[in-house]
Amino acid sequence: MSQLTFEEIKAQIEEWIRLDYIYPEDIPSIELYMDQVTTFMEEHLRGNKRREDDKILTKTMINNYSKNNLLPPSDKKKYSKDHMILLIYIYYLKNFLSINDIQNLLNPMTNTFFHKDSGITMSDIYSDLFELEKQYGIKVRQSIQDVYDITDKQFDTKDDYLKTYAMITMLSYDIYAKKQLVEKLIDSLADKSETKEEQKERKEAARQQEKAEKEQAKKQDKRTKKDSTSKAGNP
């Protein structure tokens, strides 16, 4: 593709910032196998790819997300609607956040709402956020157009590279500032988030408690049988 003039860029902005979304009603309610999950994500988000050979989601990615405690394990190799919602969040967040930050952000949601049948569910949250993002998207698109206009007026020159560079710099500053804020907000959740080590400790404590309860039940059963035998031998 040949280099565009700054005027030509203006005509392309609307198309370039148009994103593919996954509408709440399009997320399957039935469980899917991994191949079906990757196919679904590819079909619905392919318009967001920068290059044709870019991958939206792969089996390796899914396995890594589970390994890093970003995604709960599948149920007999099947993934639920809640799994799909988490994968959509991860898809967007991984573009500018570290795995650790995503984990700290999503863990409280997973621990509280994953596979919850009553009250607020993952589906409810996704639907509400989807509506908010649609409304906010209008402001985002307008702000990008504003950056173009400011840059065009600021540089009284026909140098398209300089204007494009200035626009990239302004947009990058906006991204940097918001990324800084997002990271600070995630840090503010840290005390409420469960780290990987804490999660292991919680699971081990639960396992030990379950083991102790079983041992206690066995002892109680033995005492009951002993008492019954004793009574039977002493009419």
Is the same domain home to 166 and 75?
yes
pLDDT at position 117: 82
pLDDT at position 235: 54
Is the same domain home to 22 and 92?
yes
Is the same domain home to 156 and 226?
no
Is the same domain home to 202 and 175?
no
Run means of pLDDT, 10 residues per run, the chain, 235 residues: 79 84 95 97 92 93 91 95 97 92 93 90 95 91 92 84 93 95 92 58 60 64 61 57
For residue 1, tell me if it sits in a domain: no
For residue 33, tell me if it sits in a domain: yes
pLDDT at position 168: 95
Q: How far apart are the first and last CA of the chain?
A: 100
Query: In this predicted model, what pLDDT tens digit does every residue of 158-200 receive, in sequence order?
Result: 788 999 999 999 999 999 999 999 999 999 987 554 555 665 6
pLDDT at position 68: 86
Give the HSE-up count for residue 225: Cα atoms under 13 Å, Cβ half-sphere. Answer: 6
For residue 6, tell me if it sits in a domain: no
Q: Could you tell me the two tokens for 117? A: 């049948």
Rounded distance, CA 60 to CA 72, Å? Answer: 15
For residue 90, tell me if it sits in a domain: yes
pLDDT at position 87: 97
What predicted TM-score, i.e. pTM, was given to this entire model? Answer: 0.76
Is the same domain home to 147 and 224?
no
Domain that holds residue 37: 11-192
Domain count, the chain: 2
Is the same domain home to 161 and 208?
no
For residue 126, tell me if it sits in a domain: yes
Is the same domain home to 89 and 144?
yes
Is the same domain home to 36 and 109?
yes
Q: Could you tell me the two tokens for 62? A: 């899914």
Cα-only R_g, the chain: 26
pLDDT at position 159: 85
Is the same domain home to 169 and 186?
yes
Is the same domain home to 181 and 209?
no
Is the same domain home to 128 and 211?
no
For residue 102, tell me if it sits in a domain: yes
For residue 201, tell me if it sits in a domain: yes
For residue 128, tell me if it sits in a domain: yes
